[in-house]
Structure 1
């Protein structure tokens, strides 16, 4: 759809007579730029010496650089250790187990155990009277 829209705009801008000539000129410029870039890469490789014969300029892109130097295969070398260190599940499971143990012994509770059941208080606390005019 985008290509069709660009083609229609190009026909309106350049006209149907000059459009083929413009396309030929644009492809010629692109070919010249590519050959110039390839020759510059070859010159740079030859100047760097034989130890850099496998050097790829795409490796200088930050994402590619990080993938190549920080990843072992598909996984970051220490990623599993980082995931385990940041995972809160073991601590939550420990807290849950402690809470369940406290709830299981609620009838004959140990000292310091917490009851998870709500107990109605015999003497509810007195409510303070709120006076909206006093504030």
Structure 2
């Protein structure tokens, strides 16, 4: 729910809540907050249902998450639904150009070949002169 809240912050919030509201009032406060959140969720779901019903039967499967820009781009440009647009924009070519795998493989091959030639070269004796 809150990915940025770690265990230490959570313990700090609990201790702060106990100190501010006291152990006697804290359970009632938690119940009130939970009830409020429940009502807000119900209101949100009823508003979503009302919007869907007002849009008509062709938008029966409409999801509000699809309006998020990342989801919209992923669904229409990067998946199979937007394959033609994906080709038109050259996204595959851009991904290929940004992928360093080919260059790294070629470099590794060159280093291996250089190491093999270094092993095959005769050793020079410094005392032989």
Same fold flag (TM > 0.5): yes
Alignment pair present for 1:69 and 2:81: no
Secondary structure (helix, strand or coil) at the match of 1:46 reads helix
Cα distance between partner residues in 2 of 1:37 and 1:19: 27
State TM-score, norm by structure 1.
Answer: 0.57
* 1:26-83 CA-partner distances (Å, limit 9, x unpaired): 000000000000000001000100110110001111111111111125xx83322224
The alignment yields a C-alpha RMSD, in angstroms, of 2.6
Secondary structure (helix, strand or coil) at the match of 1:4 reads helix
Which of the residues 1, 5, 10 maps onto 1:3?
Answer: 10
Q: Which residue of 1 aligns with 2:61?
A: 54
Cα distance between partner residues in 1 of 2:44 and 2:92: 41
Which runs of 5 or more residues in structure 2 are unaligned? 1-6, 104-129
Alignment pair present for 1:80 and 2:120: no
Q: How far did 1:3 drift?
A: 2.1
Which runs of 5 or more residues in structure 1 are unaligned? 91-135
Please tell me whether Structure 1 or Structure 2 has the larger radius of gyration of its CA atoms: 1
State TM-score, norm by structure 2.
Answer: 0.60
Secondary structure (helix, strand or coil) at the match of 1:41 reads helix
More helix by share: 2
4+ long deviations beyond 3 Å: 83-87
Q: Structure 1 residues 32, 83: closer, same or farther in 2, change over 3 A?
A: closer
